[in-house]
């Protein structure tokens, strides 16, 4: 089900601004005779990117129903319980159930919003802990370096907005922002244990991809790959789910490796002595038609055209 949305709202009347803000964010008091507000929201049920332009002075009291990470231009002071800050100084995280008191004044706020269940699912995949509950110890990044890392990830994510209607692009943006958030803000629990688990998953992924590359021409299975790297098949799948930037499953990675190897053979082959069917069979594709279809998806050209060059 595609729940993608890309919405824009702008109000220039004080009454309309107040009505819309209260409907979206709970208690809002606009402290100006003239006010305008604009919001651009893009994303889906798992996460969204939001840009809120406040051309006024206001007070917002908002009880979060998901995780938010916010940054702003100068002019957005906030408090959550005894913690307080300014989003232009450093990004801050708001957690479900927390009450945020915000005081925007002629500023632009940028938010990355995450569904709590989806972020928990992602954290469990990354850290290999099926019991992990996502909860953060505080509101601020763990270090200046990680603050810059999160801001750089956000900047990259914003460049993807024009193509975020594509599910694969959206999934990549979500994965990058979620991972950056989980690393930038301190999770409750033992970070050394989580780090060890994440390193182990990354090691399994690296070993498996190397083994699949080396054995792609053989009639291997994913079970074979798991056994070769000392993991269970389910453990191998978790490692790919957590680390698979090129392919989210070992099956998809093996298929891509075979297509890539077949492409290299087609480029190097002599059309007078080699056929597309021979190259396809060499890399495990017993049906030439299916090979040609997969090749066209990967390279946007028919394999015969490449062979004949």
DSSP β-ladder status, 5-11 and 76-80: unpaired
Which tokens in the block code for residue 74?
């100068």
Phi, psi of 230 (to 5 degrees): 75, 30
Q: Where are the domains of the chain?
A: 5-116, 118-189, 190-309
Judge contact between 97 and 64, C-beta under 8 A: yes
Which tokens in the block code for residue 273?
């002595």
Residues with Cβ within 8 Å of residue 209, at least 6 apart in sequence: 253
Which tokens in the block code for residue 255?
């298929």
Give the model's pLDDT for residue 168: 80
Give the model's pLDDT for residue 245: 64
Helix axes 250-268, 191-215, angle to 10 degrees: 40
Identify the three-state secondary structure at position 236.
helix
Give the model's pLDDT for residue 116: 96
**Mean pLDDT for back-to-back runs of 10 residues, the chain (309 residues):** 83 78 74 80 94 88 92 95 94 94 93 95 83 91 91 94 90 90 87 66 86 87 90 83 76 88 89 90 84 87 89
Give the model's pLDDT for residue 106: 92
First to last CA, the chain: 42
Give the model's pLDDT for residue 63: 87
Which tokens in the block code for residue 235?
């453990």
- Please state, in angstroms and rounded to a whole number, the distance separating the CA atoms of residues 252 and 171: 16
Identify the three-state secondary structure at position 133.
coil
- Please state, in angstroms and rounded to a whole number, the distance separating the CA atoms of residues 307 and 255: 20
- Please state, in angstroms and rounded to a whole number, the distance separating the CA atoms of residues 100 and 62: 5
State which fold the 5-116 domain adopts: Jelly Rolls (2.60.120)
The CA-atom distances, in angstroms, between 211 and each of 155, 226, 254 are: 35, 10, 10
Give the model's pLDDT for residue 148: 94
Residues with Cβ within 8 Å of residue 227, at least 6 apart in sequence: none
Tell which CATH classification among 3.30.413.10, 1.10.443.10, 1.10.10.60, 2.40.160.20 matches the domain 190-309. 1.10.10.60
């Amino acid at each position: 089900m595609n729940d993608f949305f890309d919405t824009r709202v702008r109000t220039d009347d004080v009454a309309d601004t107040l009505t819309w803000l209260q409907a979206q964010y709970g208690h809002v008091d606009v402290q100006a005779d003239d006010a305008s507000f604009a919001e651009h929201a893009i994303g889906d049920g798992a996460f969204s990117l939001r840009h809120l332009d406040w051309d006024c002075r206001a007070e917002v009291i908002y009880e979060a129903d998901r995780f938010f990470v916010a940054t702003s231009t100068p002019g957005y002071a906030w408090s959550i319980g005894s913690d307080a800050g300014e989003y232009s100084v450093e990004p801050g995280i708001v957690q479900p159930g927390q009450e945020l008191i915000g005081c925007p004044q002629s500023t632009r706020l940028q938010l990355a919003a995450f569904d709590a269940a989806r972020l928990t699912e992602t954290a469990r995949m990354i850290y290999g802990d099926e019991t992990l509950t996502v909860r953060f110890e505080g509101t601020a990044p763990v270090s200046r370096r990680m603050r810059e890392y999160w801001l750089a990830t956000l900047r990259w994510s914003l460049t993807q907005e024009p193509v975020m209607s594509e599910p694969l692009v959206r999934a990549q943006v979500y994965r990058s922002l979620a991972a950056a958030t989980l690393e930038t803000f301190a999770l409750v629990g033992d970070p050394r244990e989580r780090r060890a688990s994440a390193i182990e998953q990354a090691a399994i992924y690296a070993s498996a991809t190397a083994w699949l590359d080396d054995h792609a021409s053989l009639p291997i299975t994913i079970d074979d790959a798991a056994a070769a790297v000392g993991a269970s098949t389910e453990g191998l799948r978790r490692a790919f789910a957590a680390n698979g930037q090129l392919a989210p499953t070992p099956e998809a990675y093996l298929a891509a490796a075979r297509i890539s190897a077949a492409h290299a053979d087609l480029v190097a082959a002599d059309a007078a002595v080699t056929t597309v069917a021979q190259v396809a069979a060499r890399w495990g594709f017993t049906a030439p038609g299916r090979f040609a279809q997969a090749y066209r998806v990967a390279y946007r050209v028919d394999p015969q055209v490449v062979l004949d060059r």
